[in-house]
Structure 1
Amino acid sequence: MNFRFQNLLGAPYRGGNTVVTEDGVLLSPVGNRVSATDLLKSQTQTLPFEASTNIARIAASPDGAFLLAVDDASGALFINLRRRAVLHRMNFKRPVTALRFSPDGALIAVGLGKLLQIWRSPGFRKEFFPFQLERTYPDCAGAVTALDWSPDSKYLLAGSKDLTVRLFSLQGSKGQNKPFLFLGHRDAIVGAFFSMEKKSGRVFRAYTISRDGAIFTWNLVESHDFDDQEKLNSDPPSPGTPEQLSSRKDQGEDPMDIESNKKKRKNFGGGDDDENSETPLHKARWELLKKDFFMQAPAKLTACDYHRELDMVVVAFSNGVFGLYQMPDFVCIHLLSISREKITTAVFNKLGNWLTFGCAKLGQLLVWEWRSESYILKQQGHYFDVNCLAYSPDSQMLATGADDNKVKVWTVSSGFCFITFSEHTNAVTAVHFMTNNHTLLSASLDGTVRAWDLFRYRNFRTFTTPSPRQFVSLSSDPSGEVICAGTLDSFEIFVWSMKTGRLLDVLGGHEGPVHALMFSPTSSVLASSSWDKTVRLWDVFEGKGAVETFPHNHDVLTVVYRPDGKQLACSTLDGHINFWDPIDGLLMYTIEGRRDIAGGRLMTDRRSASNSSLGKYFTSLCYSADGSYIFAGGNSKYICMYDVADQVLLRRFQTTRNLSLDGVLDFLNSKKMTDAGPLDLIDDENSDTEVGIDQQTRECLGHGLPGSMPNRGRPIVRTKSLKIAPTGRSWAAATTEGVLMYSIDESFVFDPTDLDVDVTPEAVEEALESNQPQRALLLSLRLNEDSLIKKCIFSVRPLDIPTVSSSIPFKYLQRLIEAFADLLENCPHLEFLLRWSQELCKAHGHAIQQNSRSLLPSLRSLQKAISKLHQDLTDTCSSNEYLLRYLCSTSTKMQ
C-alpha cells in the first residue's frame, strides 16, 4: 500500500521558461509540477511537489542548490533541489512576469507587472519569514518582461512592454537611483543583457532585443567631464533623443587632450582604479553602436538568451525558427527550423555548447549541440488526451495511445520516449503487449489494429475488417495466436490470426459498444463488457458463441480478470464494482464506490459535488499482482484502492491538486458565476495572450494540454486508464495531467534504516582509515548514502569479497544490488564488480530465490547492465579479432 508518486510521463514541457543548472540538469515546468532531466545520465524525474496552479516562471540559484517556482496564482515555492523538498512558500500578490537570481545567489529580482522588486534569497537560514523585500522600483510603464544582472550583482537591466530597457543600481539611497533608459525599440522587449570584457571582467556593452526582431548594441563610453558635482548628480541624456545628439556634437575630443585628461577618466563596471573613482553604470554615458535585425517578419521573436563567455545570442521565433549569432559582429552561425509552432523558451547551458528549446503547444523539448549539430535530447508528449496504456511483460517499457493518432513507447527507468508510431489516422483507443515482450498491438478508430515490432520499429502487420469499423478495445490470448478487438459501431468482436493476419471469426451478440476485452490468464476464455448491461464469456477456439452471460442493471463500462483467472471484476454506470466467479457464474461481492470516487465540482455544474450524480462511476479497473487489491479510477480526481475480500476502501490517491484544472475544488466561488456563465470560460477579446511573453502557459491551454476543451476552458481532471506493472511494484494512470506513475521501489527522500547517534559519515570514514571495510560498508548501507556505499565497495580487497558478501544482511541486499547495477553502467572496473555480483549470488542464492518478487526490479537492472556490457565487449572483440591474430603472429616471429 505504500505507493508514492514516482514520475510523470507523456508531457516533458507545457509552457513557461526552462532552466539548465550548473550540473547539467534541465528543469522544465509540467503543469503544476517541475520535471528535472539529467542531460548527462539521460534520465528524467518529476519533482515530488505540486504548486496550486500551473507554474509560469522558474529560476535556479547559480550553484544549482535552490529553485524558485512561481505559478499563475502568484504562489511561490522555494525548493532545495538536492533534497527535493519545499523549504518555503509565499505569495507575491501580483502576477509574476520575470524572475532571476543574482550571480552571487544573495538576491532575487522579480517582475510583478509594472513593478520590479528585489528580494533577499532565503538560503539555509532559519527565519520566521525568510523572504525579505530589499527594494521596489515602480518606474516601468509596462509589464516587466526581461531581467539580467551584472556580474557583480550591483546593477540590473529590466526590459518591459513599454518598449524601453532600464538600468537600475542597487547601491546608494533610493532617491538617487533613478534608472537609465535605453530607448528606440518599436515593440515589447524580450531580452536585455550585459556584456563583459574578457580580460578586465568589466561591463562595457549591453544588448537589447525586442519582439519585432531587432537587436540593439549599446557601448559604454568613458567620459572625463564629471568634475562638476552638479553634473555628476544630473542624469545623462538618454540615447536617441535630440539632447543626446546635441551633447555628443558639443563634446568633441581633441586627441592632444587625451593624455592630459587621462587621470580624470573614470572606469565603469569594475576597472583597476580605486572604487571611489568608479562612475555608476546608470549615471554613465551609453551610445547606440548599431541596430541589427533578424529579418523573420511576419514572425515574432518569442524567446532569447545570451552567453557572456562566448558573446553569443540565441533567438527563437513564432514560426518555429531559431538563430544563433556571434556578437557584436552579428554573424549568423545557425538558422534552422525545428518546429512548426511557436518556440516559447530558448536557453544556453553553462558551457554554451548546448541549446535548449521548448514548444508549449506541442509539448516539445529539445536540447541541441550546435557545434556537432546533433540532438542531446528530443522529447515530445502527446498532443491530446492519453486514452490507454500498457506495461510490457518485464515492466521495463510502457506504451501509450492518445487522441493525436500516435502510439508512444517509454522506458520506465529513464522516463524517456524512445519510439513514436504515427501510422494510425484516428485516435488510438487501446494498446496491448504480447507475451514475447517485443510485439505491441494498437487499436484505433480508423478501423485498423496494427502490430508493431519493437526490435525493428516498424508496423509489420495490419488487421482490418471487410467493412470499416471503429475499434475501442483490444486483447490477445496468452499464447499469442489470436487477436480480438471490440467495436464501437457494429457491437461485434473480430478475431484474427496473429501468424497469418486473416480474419477468423466475428463474435456477435452484444447490443451496445464493446468497450472492454480481456482473455483469461489461464485459459482461452474471452470476457467482454458492453453498454448493453451484460458481461459475456466467449470460447474463441471452439467457436460456439457466448459461453456465459452475466446480466447487470446498468451499462457495464469495463471488465478485468484476476491474475489467477478465478475471478472477474466489472464496473457499472451506477458506481458499483461487481465480482463474479467465471467458473460457476455466481456473483461473489459488490462494492459501492459512488461516495469514494465523488469529489470535485465542475464550473458548468448547477449542483454541488455532493448532490451531483454526474461522473460517479469507474471507467477503469486493475487488479494488483496477487489479486488481493483492486484499483479503480474514473472521471474524478481520485483513484481508489479496495481490498477485494473485505470490500473496504484502503486508500484514495488524489491524482492532482492543480487548480488550473476543472473538477479539483469541491466548492466553487459563486462570485465567478455570471449570466453568461463562469468567468473562466468567457473569452477576453482584448487580452494579450497572443503576445507569448507573459501568458505562454495560458495560450497553450486550449491546444496542447491533455484533456483540453474546444472552448478554451479549463481541462477536466479524469483518469482514463489504469495498469499495474507485472512485478506489482508500480502502477500507472493515464490522467489529464499525463501518465502518473506510482511506485514502492524508488525513494526520493532521505529514508535511512537502523540509524542511531553512532551511524554518521564520520564513522564511515574512521572505519575506512582503520582498515575495516566490512564495518564501513554496513554503516554506509545503514546511512543509505549512495556516494558512501560506492566508496566502501571499492575499499574491499578482491580476496575479501567472499567474506564481506556473506556478512551482508538480507535487508540491505536490494540496496547493494542497485549500487552494483549503477556502477556497472558508469565504472571501468568490470572484473571487480562482476566478482562482487557473483559472490553475492553465491552467498545469498537461497534468500534471493525465496524473495524473488521483492528483488526483481533491482535484479533486472543488474541483468540489464551486465547484458549491455556483454554486448559491447562482444562487438569490440569481434571487430578486433584479426588485429589480435596479427599482433600475436608478429610477436611469435620476432621471438
Structure 2
Amino acid sequence: MTGRLGTPGFRVGPLVGALAVLAALAVGTPPVRADFVGHGAPVRDVAISPDGRYAATAGFDDLAILWSVESRDQLTRLYGHEAGVNAVAFLPPLSEGLRPRLVTVSDDGTARIWDGATGTQLHVLTGHTKKVVAVAVSPDGTQIATASWDRTVRLWDAETGATVSVLEGHTNSVNDLVFTPDGSRIVSAGYDGDIRAWPLDGGEAYRFAQVGFPINALAISGDGKILVTGSADKTVRVWDMATRDMLREMSDPHDGAVLTVAVSREGMSIASGGVGGTLLIWDGGAEPRIAMQVEHYRAVWALEFSPSGDRIYAAGIDSVVRAWRTSDGASIVGEATRFQPLERVSRALANSDDPVERGSFQFRKCAICHALEEGGPSRSGPSLAGLFGRRAGSYPGYDFSDALHGSEIVWTEETVDLLFDIGPDKMFPGTKMPIQRLTDPGDRRDLVEFLKQATD
C-alpha cells in the first residue's frame, strides 16, 4: 500500500495505512482557507437571510449554525436536535435590531424554532411521525411549512409553534416544498413523482404535474413565474407556474440523481447539484453556462443563491460550505477551502489475514460519526478515544440522549460485541445512535480487535 505520509512514495504497512485512512476519516484535514467551516459531518442544507447578512447551515452532526456572511464567523451554534438536521430557514427576528430567528427540521421527527441571538430553543414542533426533511417560511414570516417522509406537509404558526393544518395527498415520502412568493400556495414534491399545490385560502389542493420519477428538490423564482425541479432521473425541469407547462428539460450534464436546485431571485439563473459532485449554473439554454466539480467526494446536497444572485453557495458531504461567483465560477475568497477527500478503506482489507485490518474495514461506517482520537472536529457521535473501560454515556462534553444518561454499562470487549449483535436500539431504547448491526460473530470480533488498538 502506498501511503500519503511524508514524502511522495513513502510506503507503509497495511495496518498503519488503514489506521491513517481512518484517522483522516475521523479527524479531517485543517482547512487552507475558511469558507463556512465548523460542522463535523456532512452539511445537509444552507440558507442565506433575505438581507444577505447571515447564513445558516444544517448538518448531519445534529447541529445548526448561524454565520456572518461577511466574516464567515460562527455567531450561534444551535444544539437540541437528537438526530441529523436536514434543513434550515430564516424567520424574522424577535425585535428590531436582533439577529433573525431560525427554524430547523431533523431526522428526529421535529421542527424547532430558535432565537438566533442567544441560541435559545423557543418551540419544538411535534406531529410528524417520521423524519422531517424540508422546511419553508411564508413570505410574511408568519407561517412555517414542513415536509416529512410520513407523506404529509404540515403548516405551523411561526409565533406559537402551533399546528395550523395537516396536508395529505402524497402517496410516498415528501422531499421538498416551497411557498409561492405571494404566499397563496405551498408547492410540494416527493418520491411519488407528484408536484402538488396546496392553496391556503381554503381552495382544493391539486396535482400540478407528474414526473414519473422521484423528485428530490424544488425551487421557485422570486417573481413566482417558474418552478424548477430536480429528480432521480438525472434531470432538471423548468415549469411555467401559470400554465403548468414544462418549459425546459435538462438531462444530459448530470451523471446521477439531481439532489438540489436553486433559482436566483429574478429567475435568470438556475443552479443544480447531484450525487456526482457537480454544480451546474444554467441561464436560458439547454446547456449549463458553468460546470464545476465542487466536491471531491460525491454529493452536492444543497444550493442557495445570494439575494443579489452574484454568488452561489454549495453544501455537501465533506462538511464545508463554499461560495463562488456566478459570473465566472471563481471562489469569492480567492482560494476556496481545499477539498477534503475522504479515502475509503480498501475492500481488500476485509479479506486480510490480520483481524485488526479486517476490523478496520468493519469500522468504515462508524467513522462517519466517531473520531478515534481526542481533539478531532465535532461529529454526530462522541470520540471513541479511551473507549474500553469507560462507562457508556460518559464522554466529557458530549450531549448524550436520555437513553444513555445514568447508564451502568461499561465498554468492554463483551459489551461492544453485544451492541453490534442486538443493535443500539435494543441495548439503549430511545437512543439517537443509527441502527447498525454486525450479524456475523467473526466480524464483531474483528471490529473489537481494531477498536482495542485504535482507541488506546
8 Å CA contact 1:578–1:587 kept in 2: the answer is no
Partner of 2:198: 496
Q: Which ranges of structure 2 fall in alignment gaps of 5 or more residues?
A: 1-32, 41-60, 66-73, 94-98, 368-383, 405-423, 439-456
2:308 paired residue number: 626
Number of the residue aligned with 1:415: 119
Q: Does 1:480 align with 2:183?
A: yes
Rg: which structure is higher? 1
- Aligned residue type for 2:267: G
Partner of 1:398: 102
The one of 67, 81, 84 aligned to 1:385: 84
Which of 562, 586, 598 is 2:264 aligned to? 562
Question: TM-score, normalized by length of structure 2?
Answer: 0.59
CA contact (8 A) 1:639 1:655 kept: no
Is 1:585 aligned to residue 285 of structure 2? yes
Does residue 1:597 correspond to 2:295, yes or no? Answer: yes
User: 2: CA distance between counterparts of 1:635 and 1:708?
Assistant: 19
Q: Is the 8 A contact 2:35 2:320 kept in 1?
A: no
Task: Count matched residues.
Answer: 318
SS state of the match for residue 164, structure 2? strand
2:360 paired residue number:
677
**Is it true that 1:571 corresponds to 2:277 in the alignment?**
no
TM-score, normalized by length of structure 1? 0.32
TM-superposed CA distance for 1:552, in Å, is 2.5
Q: What secondary structure is seen at the aligned counterpart in 2 of 1:512?
A: coil
Aligned equivalents of 2:342 and 2:287: distance in 1? 36
Aligned residue for 1:675, secondary structure, equals helix
Distance 2:432 2:312 in 1: 25
**Residue in 1 aligned with 2:410?**
none
**Structure-1 residue corresponding to 2:167:** 463
Other structure's SS at 1:674 match: helix
The 1:653/1:706 distance shift into structure 2, 3 A limit, reads farther
Looking at structure 1, the residues matched to 181 and 157 of structure 2 have their Cα atoms a distance apart, in angstroms, of: 18
CA-CA distance at 1:712 after TM superposition = 8.6
Q: Report whether the alignment pairs 1:549 with 2:231.
A: no
1:511-526 → structure 2 map (5 Å cutoff): 511-526=212-227
Mapped partners of 2:123, 2:356: distance in 1: 45
2:135 paired with 1:431: yes
Structure 2 counterpart of 1:635, from 313, 317, 335: 317
Q: Measure how far apart 1:429 and its partner are.
A: 1.0
C-alpha distance in 2 between matches for 1:633 and 1:522: 25
Q: Is the 8 A contact 1:618 1:632 kept in 2?
A: yes
| Structure-2 separation of matches of 1:414 and 1:655 | 32
Partner residue of 1:536?
237
C-alpha distance in 2 between matches for 1:664 and 1:564: 35
For each residue in 1:857-883, what CA deviation from the matched residue of structure 2 results, as whole angstroms up to 9, or x when unmatched?
xxxxxxxxxxxxxxxxxxxxxxxxxxx
Q: Amino acid of the residue matched to residue 202 of structure 2? A: T
Residue identity in the other structure for 1:591: A
Contact 1:492 1:507 in 2 (8 A): yes
Output the CA distance in 1 between the equivalents of 2:277 and 2:34. Answer: 24
Distance 1:533 1:707, change over 3 A: farther
Q: Is the 8 A contact 2:35 2:323 kept in 1?
A: no
**Identical aligned residues as a percent:** 21
1:400 alignment partner AA: T
SS in 2 for 1:475: strand
2:212 maps to amino acid = E
Q: 1:455 to 1:637 in 2, by over 3 A?
A: closer
Structure with the higher fraction of residues in helix conformation: 1
Q: Could you tell me which runs of 5 or more consecutive residues in structure 1 were left unpaired when the two chains were aligned.
A: 10-30, 36-43, 48-378, 599-614, 657-662, 714-895
Q: Quote the residue 1:616 is aligned against.
A: 298
C-alpha displacement of 1:414: 1.4
Counterpart in 2 of 1:227?
none
Q: CA deviation at 1:565?
A: 1.5
Bigger CA drift: 617-626 or 469-478? 617-626
Alpha-carbon spacing, 1:531–1:693, altered in 2? closer, same or farther (3 Å): closer
Change (3 A) 1:587 1:531: same
Tell me, in whole angstroms, the C-alpha distance in 2 between the residues paired with 1:496 and 1:507: 13
Conserved 8 A contact 1:689-1:695: no
Deviations 1:303-325 (A, max 9, x none): xxxxxxxxxxxxxxxxxxxxxxx
CA pair 500-672 structure 1, distance change in 2 beyond 3 A: farther
Task: Name 2:328's counterpart in structure 1.
Answer: 646
Higher relative contact order (CA 8 A, sep 6+): 2
- 2:207 maps to 505
Check whether the contact 2:89–2:104 (CA below 8 A) recurs between aligned residues. yes
Shift of 1:647: 1.7
Aligned Cα RMSD in Å? 4.2
Q: Secondary structure at the match of 1:500?
A: coil
DSSP 3-state at the match of 2:289 = strand
Q: Distance in 1 between matches of 2:182 and 2:164?
A: 19
- CA distance in 1 between counterparts of 2:399 and 2:268 reads 49
Q: What letter matches 1:620 in structure 2?
A: A
Shift of 1:668: 8.0
Letter in 2 for 1:384: A
CA distance in 2, matches of 1:470, 1:674: 39
Cα distance, 1:706–1:430 mapped onto 2, change above 3 Å? farther
Structure 2 CA distance for partners of 1:433 and 1:672, relative to 1, 3 Å: farther
Corresponding residue SS for 1:413: coil
Kindly provide the CA deviation profile for residues 250-285 of structure 1, in whole angstroms up to 9, marking residues without a partner as x: xxxxxxxxxxxxxxxxxxxxxxxxxxxxxxxxxxxx
Question: How far apart are residue 468 of structure 1 and its match?
Answer: 3.4
Conserved 8 A contact 2:323-2:331: yes
Measure, in 2, the Cα distance between the counterparts of 1:524 and 1:628. 20
Contact kept in structure 2, 1:556 and 1:571, CA below 8 Å: yes
Deviates more, 1:625-634 or 1:533-542: 533-542
Aligned to 1:597, the other structure's residue is in SS state coil
Q: Secondary structure at the match of 1:419?
A: strand
- 1:132-211 alignment runs, 5 A limit: none
